Amino acid sequence: MNVKKFSANTSREAWRMVREALGPDAVILSNKTVNGMVEILALAGEDMSSLSAPLHEQGSTFESSAARAPASRKMAEPPRAEAPRRAASAPARTAAAPGGAQPSFAAGQTARQQAEMIEVMSEIRSMRGMLESQLAEIAWGGAQQQRHPAKAAVLKEMLAAGFSATLARYLVEKIPASVTSDGGLNWIKAVLARNLAVIENESEILEQGGVYALVGPTGVGKTTTTAKLAARCVMRHGPSKLALITTDGYRIGGYEQLRIYGKILGVMVHSVKDETDLRIALDELKSKHTVLIDTVGMSQRDKMVAEQVAMLSGTGTPVKRLLCLAATSTGETLNEVVRSYQGTGLAGCIMTKMDEAATIGSALDVIIRQKLNLYYVANGQRVPEDLHVANRQYLIDRAFKLKRETAPFQIHDDELPLVMANTARNMGDKSLSGVHLG
Ligand SMILES: Nc1nc2c(ncn2[C@@H]2O[C@H](COP(=O)(O)OP(=O)(O)OP(=O)(O)O)[C@@H](O)[C@H]2O)c(=O)[nH]1
Ligand SMILES: [Mg+2]
């Protein structure tokens, strides 16, 4: 920092000297009268940067200089054209100069500039905060690889199997110290299997009977799965104990699709168009052991989903809703589907199109975290063969086997920190605290 002192008989003369020596960008540090002489301390504009306080101190510097703004009005300055620039952040200590001229800038303008600077600084501080947390996240991923290569390997296995980065991180961090480095993945598989709720045996649905409605987005396999379930019911109890209902009456071929399956199985298919129709149909079918309702597929983003939930819950007969989740959908989509179809509560879900999915981790992730009861998995179009009672151990093992085929999409070591960035903010998600570790 190169501070220079200028003395003159008048402030006008002193300002001229400053301007000549340091140029129009000179920064005034002080301006006072000493023994009848005007004395100015100033430094060149480019030296200003050396005065900048560390970021965290600047807020208070600006605030105090803003507070000083009224005092600067008293400062003696030459006419506007000659005035060197006063930087908003300069720690100017001002003194009243006798018979001084007006400041070269309006005090109001200075205050506005200072307010703007305070705003800019607060933006910079918040950006710095974001950067710091992002870098910490990236460092977390990097540190895992360096300090705990075995844990990083488990992390990558989970990501490759389609599990979310959030669940992967949560579980990897919870691997007990007592677990050997190559036992981490088995520990995680055991935790996942324990947390995957499945029906204990098929009797739960086939023996108990009741009214079930298959719901879900378009084309996930509701009608096909209804037919598969119908075939299983018929095989166990005969066709007279079962009735089929479709709410898919208005789409071309909607009713027809189920009617053909019904015909093959020897089961009557009823078509209903609204809640009143459904109430009447369910009343008529009270004597049936099992009633399966095939619903119209609708996007989870369609507001009609709520109306469908209301229709199925407003009949006076308990209707258990089973959500069809296509294993081919992304975790984000499935999460949205569950939230939208949850309504007053789902009896459970059926994972469809498992045969088409490159990974099933994302579907299992959603089912585990949303605590859905998984009834069946469907792995093909064939009715009734391609429907199986969910087996938790088989599904978890399969999740980790399938990933081999997806090698080009697997996470590389240098990508891991980036993939794991931002997971910290999700660690408080209550769907995670519901995952039982012991
Ligand atoms: N690969 C495979 N295809 C399936 C599976 N389940 C259903 N499909 C096929 O997916 C397509 C759509 O099945 P649907 O049963 O009509 O689906 P949906 O949910 O009733 O469709 P919408 O009523 O239009 O909402 C058909 O071609 C089925 O054969 C499955 O598990 N695997
Ligand atoms: Mg259908």
Q: Give the 3-state secondary structure of residue 134.
A: helix
Higher pLDDT, 225 or 127: 225
Final residue before a domain boundary, out of 371, 390, 409: 390
Order of strands across the sheet that contains 242-246:
269-271, 242-246, 290-294, 210-215, 319-326, 348-352, 374-378, 387-389
In a domain, residue 397? The reply is: no
In a domain, residue 149? The reply is: no
In a domain, residue 414? The reply is: no
103 in the Ramachandran plot: left (φ > 0), alpha (ψ -120 to 50) or beta? beta
14: its two tokens: 């002193």
Residue 104 pLDDT: 59
In a domain, residue 428? The reply is: no
Whether the upstream peptide bond of residue 239 has omega within 30° of 0, thus cis, is no
In a domain, residue 378? The reply is: yes
Q: Whose CA is nearest to atom 13 of ligand 1?
A: 221
Q: Do 205 and 350 share a structural domain?
A: yes
Ligand 2 centroid, distance to 213 Cα (angstroms):
12
* pLDDT, tens digit (0-9, with 9 covering 90-100), for 66-95: 333 333 333 334 444 444 444 444 444 434
In a domain, residue 158? The reply is: no
- Among the residue ranges 169-183, 355-369, 413-427, the one predicted with the least confidence is 413-427
Q: Do 367 and 256 share a structural domain?
A: yes
Q: Do 370 and 221 share a structural domain?
A: yes
CA distance 338 to 292: 21
Give the mean pLDDT of 267-288: 95
Ligand 2 centroid, distance to 273 Cα (angstroms):
14
**What's this model's pTM, rounded to 2 decimal places?**
0.71
186: its two tokens: 């088995």
Q: Do 322 and 212 share a structural domain?
A: yes
Ligand 1 contact, 224 CB (< 6 A): yes
Residue 272 pLDDT: 94
* pLDDT, tens digit (0-9, with 9 covering 90-100), for 278-332: 999 999 999 999 999 999 998 998 888 999 999 999 999 999 999 999 999 999 9
**Number of domains the chain is built from:** 2
Ligand 1 centroid, distance to 20 Cα (angstroms):
84
| CATH label of the domain that carries residue 297 | 3.40.50.300
- Among the residue ranges 165-179, 224-238, 409-423, the one predicted with the least confidence is 409-423
* pLDDT, tens digit (0-9, with 9 covering 90-100), for 105-118: 567 778 888 888 88
Render the burial of 246-272: b for 16+ CB within 10 Å, e for the rest: bbbeeeeebbebbbebbeebebbbbbb
Ligand 1 contact, 325 CB (< 6 A): no
In this predicted structure, the answer to whether residue 41 has a pLDDT above a threshold of 60 is yes
Residue 56 pLDDT: 44
Ligand 2 centroid, distance to 257 Cα (angstroms):
8
Residue count of the chain: 438
Ligand 2 centroid, distance to 249 Cα (angstroms):
10
Residue 253 pLDDT: 76
Q: Do 355 and 234 share a structural domain?
A: yes
Ligand 1 contact, 223 CB (< 6 A): yes
In a domain, residue 358? The reply is: yes
* pLDDT, tens digit (0-9, with 9 covering 90-100), for 331-356: 999 999 999 999 889 999 999 999 99
Ligand 1 contact, 220 CB (< 6 A): yes
Final residue before a domain boundary, out of 49, 74, 107: 107
Q: Whose CA is nearest to atom 7 of ligand 1?
A: 221
Q: What is the mean pLDDT of the chain?
A: 83
User: Which pLDDT band, with edges at 50, 70 and 90, does 11 fall under?
Assistant: confident
Ligand 2 centroid, distance to 221 Cα (angstroms):
7
In this predicted structure, the answer to whether residue 429 has a pLDDT above a threshold of 80 is yes
Ligand 1 contact, 149 CB (< 6 A): no
Ligand 1 contact, 228 CB (< 6 A): no
Final residue before a domain boundary, out of 390, 418, 433: 390
In a domain, residue 210? The reply is: yes
Ligand 1 centroid, distance to 326 Cα (angstroms):
9
Ligand 1 centroid, distance to 341 Cα (angstroms):
18
Q: Do 204 and 103 share a structural domain?
A: no
Ligand 1 centroid, distance to 284 Cα (angstroms):
29
Pocket test for ligand 1, best of 218, 223, 355 (most atoms within 8 A of CB): 223
Ligand 1 contact, 283 CB (< 6 A): no
Q: Give the 3-state secondary structure of residue 154.
A: helix
Ligand 1 contact, 98 CB (< 6 A): no
Tell me the C-alpha to C-alpha distance, in Å, between residue 326 and each of 223, 235, 251: 13, 26, 22
Q: Whose CA is nearest to atom 26 of ligand 1?
A: 221
CA distance 361 to 160: 8
Q: Do 351 and 221 share a structural domain?
A: yes
Residue 99 pLDDT: 45
Residue 87 pLDDT: 42
In this predicted structure, the answer to whether residue 1 has a pLDDT above a threshold of 70 is no
Q: Whose CA is nearest to atom 6 of ligand 1?
A: 221
Domain assignment of residue 100, given as a range: 3-107
Higher pLDDT, 27 or 142: 27
CA distance 61 to 151: 47
* pLDDT, tens digit (0-9, with 9 covering 90-100), for 163-220: 999 999 999 999 998 998 789 999 999 999 999 999 988 887 889 999 999 999 999 9
Q: Are 230 and 242 in contact (CB under 8 A)?
A: yes
Pocket test for ligand 1, best of 224, 296, 308, 377 (most atoms within 8 A of CB): 224
In this predicted structure, the answer to whether residue 431 has a pLDDT above a threshold of 60 is yes
CA distance 216 to 434: 25
